[in-house]
Copies of this chain bind each other. A is one copy, B any other.
Amino acid sequence: MRTVEWVDGRVRIIDQRALPWELVLVEYDDYLDVARAITDMVVRGAPAIGAAAAFGMALAARQFDANNRQELLRYLQEAQALLVKARPTAVNLKWAVNKVMKAGSSEALFRVEDIRNEMLRAAKRIANQDVKANRRMGVYGAALIKDGDTVLHHCNTGALATVDWGTALGVIRTAHQQGKRFHVLLDETRPRLQGARLSGWELTEAGIPFEIIADSAAGHFMRTGKVDLVLVGSDRTAANGDVANKIGTYSLAVLAKENGIPFYAVVPTSTIDMSLPSGEQIPIEERTPDEVRSPYGMALVPDEYPVRNPAFDVTPHRYVTGIVTENGIAYPPYEVNLPRAVEGSLAQELEEEDLPYTHEQLSLFDDLDA
């Protein structure tokens, strides 16, 4: 089962707010509901919201009762604007929505029905490519995990954060599938506890051994030699390798560097924003104080206590050991190697040198493009 999927003319999404207690599926036939589901974090994780928004565009194309091409595209510009605004930090929300819009805007499409079909095809392609990218990142990244390692992980970057498999947690899945024996420390990831609740649920389901820790305990485990590798995702990566990700990522990166522990971000190239020279330009979403005061309705402190709740932070590239993409691992200087990762010229180069897998292994996932 995919986190986000097109089923019988509707968008079906796993409601992540109900986990780990219950696996609840919701179906939408109105793109406005999809936008609200993204804002309310029914679905979260940069790749997952990208796919959800792409399907939201496909829904919108079916909703509008347009008489001609021009009328439909004009309507769809509204849907595009609204979906892009559903959350501000992740770049591939915009990337995915614009990609579907562009596919539908092709001048080769004359009939309204053709536009609708082409936009749905584009959305499905985005979802399938996400799964393929995750599988490839899994193979590249798994080479970083050794038997006996303890891997520290922040937030949720698994199947739930993507269409399937996961980015950083996908690397962990792949290493486990390869038979490696290692341990995972999961930051609980306040305020919404995606690490404890979602990553805890995924690793339980996958049978991968883990322990949850309070976010502030990560430094203690690093300092006392208990962590060998830190793996995180990214909601948006700038051209210079600065990484915007779930709040707390920056702290982990500084602590990892201080303790000589490699720190990798695992990011599909759809989340790399080559238009941004540095992370300083990435907008940081500040979410409702209630997430801190009363997560999931459980009151920790009174409603009147003032709270700041930035949802993301920016990790400057000097703390990032490497960036795992579906086209290989980019190392500094990122100005040189990130463009190669995006273009696809990085993987070959790295494979010929020292990567422990073949083109054939990676091509196993090519059928997912269909």
Contact = CB atoms under 8 A, between A and B. Distances in A.
Interface stretch (A52-60, A105-113, A215-223): A215-223
A158 B39 CA distance: 38
B196 A301 contact: yes
Contacts of A196: 292, 300-301, 305
A189 interface: yes
A77 to B, nearest CB: 35
Interface in A220-234: 220-221, 223
Contacts of A295: 300
A185 interface: yes
Interface stretch (A132-140, A306-314, A350-358, A360-368): A306-314
A263 to B, nearest CB: 13
A87 interface: no
B250 A213 contact: no
Contacts of A250: 219-220, 223
Contact of A213 (B187, B220, B292): B292
B247 A217 contact: yes
Interface in A53-73: none
Contact of A309 (B214, B219, B255): B214
B220 A301 contact: no
